Amino acid sequence: MPRVRARTRRVPTRARRVRAGVLIGVAVLAGAGIAAIDFAADASVVPEVATQVDPHNSDALTTLAETTANTDLDAAHGYALRAIASNPLDDRALVIAALARTSTNEIARADRLFGLVTTLTRRQPLAETWMFDLSATRGDYAGAIDHADAALRRHTAADTDLMPVMMRLTGTRAALPALARKLATMPPWRADFFQALGKSKAGDGLALIAALKQAGDHTAPVEVAAMASQQIAAGSTANARAVWRTGFGSPLPPLLSPNFESMVQYGDFGWTFGARGGAQIVARGDGARGHALEVQLSRTGKRPIPVAQQAMLLDRGGHRITFEGRSVGGGQSVASVVVRCAGTDQELGRAAVPAGEHWATGGFVFFVPAADCPIQKLVIEAAPNLTQSGSPTLVDTFRVE
């Protein structure tokens, strides 16, 4: 499918940030073919034969238009016009006709055709994406969000292109009320939205959580964590803490899960466990109540293997971490505690978990640099069995100051 040309009209300043991404998305959709369109023609009939038998078969003509558009948009446009003459409400043919107008830079006519398509049906993601851009360009963010909602509900290639633009809308003050109201209706793409937001450097999670509260939304804890993570990705730990305080009503602690009792996890905050195993939660033993993490020697590799970790949001400067540990059977420790910068993986400090039959306290001092380390990660590592031997090691009760 030919690429869709950018609009020629002047773009208002308030829509400038959303417009570029939408047009790229439309171009990608067009370049990949209209794979998301529902084909209404009978698959058992060859379109070329069907149109010879019945020259006014709009379904067959539209199918010909769609398959031809990848190589010859002019021919596809001809088939589409014949289909529209037979059935003026053929939304599939109208999409091809609208695309043909973009190739000749007849943007106003394309606007009208795509608008007609979205009036006839909400099942054409390409038309909805185009109208999303047009509405945002005009400052009609409520209409833009409505078109985005219709496109995202189809779960097509449009999602890949629309989601980054939706992230940027969280940083567009005029768009926030409409976006928050739509999210409050619990659309089926809400989980995908927050998942993408947690990894995005664009947008404004702090502004979004305020807008969601204004809209009366009941934001889930994992969504609050996603908005905090977005602010971390954008480089603002202060805003991340503000998001957390707004969403949870209390400050973000240095460690969301300081031990292994009733563990809480929201996004990267709280313990996450490595896919390769090597650790399990067991009773503390040695006359102590509660649970601890038992770490065993890694069965593969020559390097320590991360078995558990969680994110931290610490101020720059010096900190101290302490923890408890002991070995099952009193042998050599096979676990280490490490603090790293999450983005660069720079190691800030490490110490082996205490060995011995009874619980003992270990720890170390580390320094968070002023740059390139807005978020840190606390990692528990298992030693590889190719380089040393030892007993399963228990670790528990972390504290960061």
Tell whether the torsion through CA atoms of 254, 257, 261 and 262 is positive or negative. Answer: positive
What CATH number should be reported for the domain holding residue 192?
Answer: 1.25.40
For residues 30-44, average pLDDT? 37
DSSP 321-352: EEEEEEETTS----EEEEEEETTT--EEEEEE
Chain Cα centroid distance, residue 374 = 20
Instruction: State how far the alpha carbon of 272 is from the alpha carbons of 119, 279, 296, in Å.
Output: 47, 11, 17
Residue where a domain terminates, one of 213, 248, 283: 248
22 and 164 both lie in a single domain:
yes
| Contact of 21 with 161, CB cutoff 8 Å | yes
244 and 287 both lie in a single domain:
no
- Whether 7 is in a domain gets the answer no
pLDDT for position 191: 94
Residue 309's H or E segment, with its range, is: strand 305-312
The overall average pLDDT reported for the chain is 81
- Whether 260 is in a domain gets the answer no
| Contact of 229 with 266, CB cutoff 8 Å | no
Distance CA 349, CA 336 (A): 11
pLDDT for position 190: 96
Distance CA 149, CA 132 (A): 9
pLDDT for position 277: 67
Q: pLDDT over 70 for what percent of the chain?
A: 84
- Whether 5 is in a domain gets the answer no
Q: Return the structure tokens found at 88.
A: 């003026």
What is residue 25's three-state secondary structure? helix
* Global confidence as pTM: 0.72
221 and 287 both lie in a single domain:
no
Number of domains in the chain: 2
pLDDT band at 351 (very low <50, low <70, confident <90, very high): very high
Number of neighbouring beta carbons within 10 Å of residue 42: 13
For residues 246-270, average pLDDT? 88
pLDDT for position 19: 37
pLDDT band at 255 (very low <50, low <70, confident <90, very high): very high
pLDDT band at 159 (very low <50, low <70, confident <90, very high): confident
With tokens 């990660």, the residue in question is 377
- Whether 363 is in a domain gets the answer yes
189 and 68 both lie in a single domain:
yes
Distance CA 120, CA 29 (A): 21
217 and 281 both lie in a single domain:
no
- Whether 131 is in a domain gets the answer yes
317 and 354 both lie in a single domain:
yes
In this structure, of 52-66, 262-276, 307-321, the range with the lowest mean pLDDT score is 52-66
Q: In which domain, by residue range, is 145 found?
A: 13-248
What would the pLDDT profile of 385-400 be if each residue is shown by its tens digit?
765 667 889 999 999 9
What CATH number should be reported for the domain holding residue 307?
Answer: 2.60.120.260
Indicate whether 22 pLDDT > 50: no
In this structure, of 106-115, 116-125, 260-269, 294-303, the range with the lowest mean pLDDT score is 294-303
- Whether 28 is in a domain gets the answer yes
pLDDT for position 42: 43
Distance CA 377, CA 372 (A): 13
Residue where a domain terminates, one of 214, 248, 282: 248
What would the pLDDT profile of 327-347 be if each residue is shown by its tens digit?
887 778 899 999 999 889 999
194 and 303 both lie in a single domain:
no
Angle (CA) 235-238-243 rounded to 5° is 100
93 and 144 both lie in a single domain:
yes
Angle, nearest 10°, between helix axes 205-214 and 237-248? 20
Residue where a domain terminates, one of 216, 248, 280: 248
What would the pLDDT profile of 52-88 be if each residue is shown by its tens digit?
544 566 777 777 777 877 777 788 788 788 888 888 8
202 and 280 both lie in a single domain:
no
321 and 381 both lie in a single domain:
yes
DSSP state of 15: G
49 and 188 both lie in a single domain:
yes
Q: Return the structure tokens found at 175.
A: 């768009």
224 and 80 both lie in a single domain:
yes
Distance CA 148, CA 132 (A): 6
